[in-house]
A and B are shown apart, each in its own frame.
Chain A
């Protein structure tokens, strides 16, 4: 696959370029929009929930921002990833190109959106008097696993979307549920232990937890957490590539 990837490097670049041009065509703020979204959500959450949870959680704004940052990335990446294959149907029904390239190219864009939000996040940390340390470098790990996880889920969704367009609506509901179920604006301490264990199975929450551990507590999570994050990423990728391999020549019957 690596030889194929290098062979299609040029196509990948051209697809990335195309996605950028199309996305920011005739928008005044251009990429600013992508940064604005998490910030607005952050503002709303802060205003609404600060009265309820803000008193018991230190650095509440940063606390929400950790959650928001990861959650918005996941939502953005999977929503765009889902459309990526279908949107390029006119290409893959006429040329034999590796189909996962469309999703990869789209992921670059959401990754850049995330990176921009992350820069804003760092400014917020500084403003909120969070102590920076070398441990911040460890944030690269959950970012890497989250990226792979997003790609994997995106692959699965984009394949499913070809077969059932309803996935779009179902996924939107699911994303909504996930937002409330990922402890973005509350802590899970007050839940009974068996419910807390359920949160451990939420990949998005695990990534948020990692971020908070570094940013708010200044501690690197145990090795076990690293393994869990890697397992999430690899199983999502495996599922995605399995679907693409299995349905590679069948997609075109459905578009």
Chain B
């Protein structure tokens, strides 16, 4: 594996879903419909002719409205599905877990779930033994370790999912809507972690409805709409701008993100407090200096009088 080879390359990838009569109809219905010629299958192209390639250390953001084909594309990238047409070339091991918060087992404890998840991602027991303390620490779930998973709040579940996915060191990490979970504090922590993972040279694909996150974290962006590729570029700002414009034109406006809004307000308040503190300290310093000068002057006057 050389560094010059792309980490992941999609060459005119198209993915077709079949929808219609073949599912949930049972054997009798199936035979009947086959016999009467009533058996209907409709093709549905979830992705059409997608082309992109990312290199080692890249962070690709994928944007698009609901039903744009993002999740399907990720399924193909992670090898769960095969593209109907086109080719996907992987330059390394893909550790993908889609819809991270789901797929945990409610009856198992947090610890057991963490190990099971690590095993699914293809890690060894030794590695999990070493990494587990960091995972539980990062997810801030130490006191919940032996509780059944179903007793956790959904935010906690997502925190655990994110902690496992980012602390085990995959070559290609796929994050599908995971950074938008947790409270404001955890979100900032996870974004910081994400930058660290990026700094460590991991390649990441991030799917997010928060354009702000894409802008902040990614160096390449892919925009899908109804299965078609609108743009793939390293001009993240440009693509995000037009995507946001597109959202506004659709009349829905950019998705209001209360967590982001709260973080912004908190940051503004913190900055104001910092400024006030600074001013207070400067005023204090000035007062102290005045006092010192006063004392010095008095001393000088006293010694002159002697």
Q: Measuring CB to CB, which residues of chain A are less than 8 angstroms from any residue of chain B?
A: 7-8, 10-11, 13-15, 17-18, 21-22, 25, 90-97, 164-167, 170, 249, 252-254
Given contacts A14-B116, A22-B105, A92-B80, could you give 6 more A-B pairs where the C-beta distance is less than 8 Å? A11-B120, A14-B112, A15-B116, A90-B103, A94-B103, A170-B27
Q: How many residues of B contact A (CB 8 A)?
A: 36
B274 is an interface residue with CB less than 8 A from chain A: no
Contact present for B81 and A249 (CB under 8 Å): yes
| CB nearest neighbor in A for B100 | A94
Asked whether B218 is an interface residue with its Cβ less than 8 Å from the other chain, the reply is: no
Contact indicator B17/A7 (Cβ below 8 Å)? no
| B97 contacts A252, C-beta separation under 8 Å | no
Q: Judge whether B78 and A96 touch: CB under 8 Å.
A: yes
Taking a contact as CB atoms under 8 Å apart, the answer to whether A7 and B103 are in contact is: no
B108 with A249: CB separation less than 8 A: no
Q: Distance in Å from the Cβ of A131 to the closest Cβ of chain B? A: 46
Taken together as a complex, chains A and B put the C-alpha atoms of A57 and B157 apart, in Å, by 61
Cβ-defined contact, A18 with B116, below 8 A:
yes
B299 shortest CB reach to chain A, Å: 77
Q: What residues of A have a CB within 8 angstroms of the CB of B121 in the complex?
A: 95
B residues 28-59 near A (Cβ < 8 Å) are 28, 30
Q: Is B96 an interface residue (CB 8 A)?
A: yes
Q: How far is the CB of A63 from chain B (nearest CB, A)?
A: 38
User: Quick one: CB contact mask for B1-27 with A, threshold 8 Å, 1 for yes?
Assistant: 000000000000000011000110011
Which residue on chain B has the smallest CB distance to residue A92? B80
Binding stretch for chain A, among B122-130, B196-204, B219-227, B280-288 = B122-130
Interface residues of chain B, those whose CB is within 8 Å of chain A, are 17-18, 22-23, 26-28, 30, 75, 78-82, 94, 96-99, 102-103, 105, 107-108, 112, 115-116, 118-125, 128
Residue of B nearest to A248 (CB): B82
Check A21–B108 contact: CB distance below 8 A. Answer: yes
On whether the beta carbons of B119 and A11 are closer than 8 Å, the reply is yes
With contacts A94-B103, A95-B120 taken as known, whether A253 is within 8 angstroms of B23 at the C-beta atoms is: yes
Distance, CA A164 to CA B102, complexed state (A): 25
**Chain B positions within 8 Å of A95 at CB level:** 78, 80, 96-98, 103, 120-121
Select which of B18, B26, B107, B120 is within 8 A of A166 by beta carbon. Answer: B26
Contact B102 A90 (CB under 8 A): yes
Closest to B74 in A: A94
B23 near A164: Cβ-Cβ < 8 Å: no
Contact of A18 among B80, B108, B128 (CB under 8 A): B108
Closest chain-A Cβ to B160's Cβ sits at a distance in Å of: 15
Q: A10 vs B107: C-alpha distance in the bound complex, in angstroms? A: 20
Across-interface contacts of A13 in B (CB, < 8 A): 119, 125
Q: Looking at A11, A13, A95, A165, which has the most chain B CB atoms within 10 Å of its CB?
A: A95
**Which of B22, B80, B94, B122 touches A252 (beta carbons < 8 Å)?**
B80
